[in-house]
Amino acid sequence: MVNTISRMNLYTNLKKVNTISRMNLYINLKMVNTISRMNLYINLKMFNTISRMNLYTNLKMVNTISRMNLYTNLKMVNTISRMNLYIILKMVNTISRMNLYINLKIVNTISRMNLYIILKMVNTLSRMNLYINLKIVNTISRMNLYIILQMVNTISRMNLYIILKMVDTISRLNLYIILQMVNTLSRLNLYIILQMVDTISRMNLYIILQMVNTISRMNLYINLKMVNTISRMNLYIILKMVNTISRMNLYIILQMVNTISRMNLYIN
């Protein structure tokens, strides 16, 4: 029950640790009137093994979030196994100019990791940038990534970047982008970029827009560039119960790909 948080910096740093096993980390901001120019850093750097760790970042019942930056960085980690990462913004009136960065860089193996980004019951979402970067990763196996925007009145000028770059093997990766029960979606740019990947096997990508009133000036880019082998990949783009679509552009680009086997593309 805090009225105003202004220009606050919060750092959670875990550095040069051998093993983290069964750790739960909760960052909760609840019943706050205004959050302005807050920077929140969660840094996990130079680890051997992260196993069964749960990390929750919850912002609930907040009136206004303005110019907030949230960084979740996992860098130079050997193995990430069965880690759950939740970023939840629930019952927020206005989110303006928020940047959210999730960076996994120089990681050997990611196995059975679940990443949830949930924005639920938000009135206005304006000029939000969401970056998910996985860079220089050897193996991604059985990873689930959920981006869910549910019960949002207005989304304006939002950019969402999902970038997997310099990855050796992607196996059984499920990526869900769900926008459900949204009134107005204006100037949303969604970028899904897989670049310099050796093998993509059994990957499912779901982009679901359901129960949306108006979609205006939306750009959706799916780029697969410099990929050696794509095997058993399913791409679903589903628009269900949408009233008006105006100026929507969909780009699917496959560039410098060696082998494509059993790839299915569904646009409904």
Contact partners, residue 265, CB within 8 Å, separation at least 6? 235, 237, 252
pLDDT at residue 20 in the model: 87
pLDDT (0 to 100) of residue 80: 93
Residue with tokens 């996994």: 104
Task: Round to whole Å and give the CA distance between 206 and 234.
Answer: 8
Nearest alpha carbon to residue 111 among 48, 173, 22, 163:
173
Query: DSSP labels for 93-156?
Result: EEEES-EEEEEEEEEEEEES-EEEEEEEEEEEEES-EEEEEEEEEEEEEEEEEEEEEEEEEEEE
How would you class 27 by CB atoms within 10 Å of its CB: exposed for 0-12, middle for 13-18, buried for 19 or more? Answer: middle
Note the pLDDT of residue 17.
Answer: 81
Tell me, what's the pLDDT at 54? 96
Question: How far apart (Å, rounded) are the C-alpha atoms in residues 266 and 131?
Answer: 25
What is the pLDDT, as a whole number, of residue 161?
97
| SS3 label, residue 179 | strand
**Domains of the chain by residue range:** 2-267
pLDDT of res. 10: 87
In this prediction, residue 246 carries a pLDDT of 94
Task: Show pLDDT as tens, one digit a residue, over the chain (268 residues).
Answer: 789 989 989 899 988 889 989 989 999 999 999 999 999 999 999 989 999 999 999 999 999 999 999 999 999 999 999 999 999 999 999 999 999 999 999 999 999 999 999 999 999 999 999 999 999 999 999 999 999 999 999 999 999 999 999 999 999 999 999 999 999 999 999 999 999 999 999 999 999 999 999 999 999 999 999 999 999 999 999 999 999 999 999 999 999 999 999 999 999 8
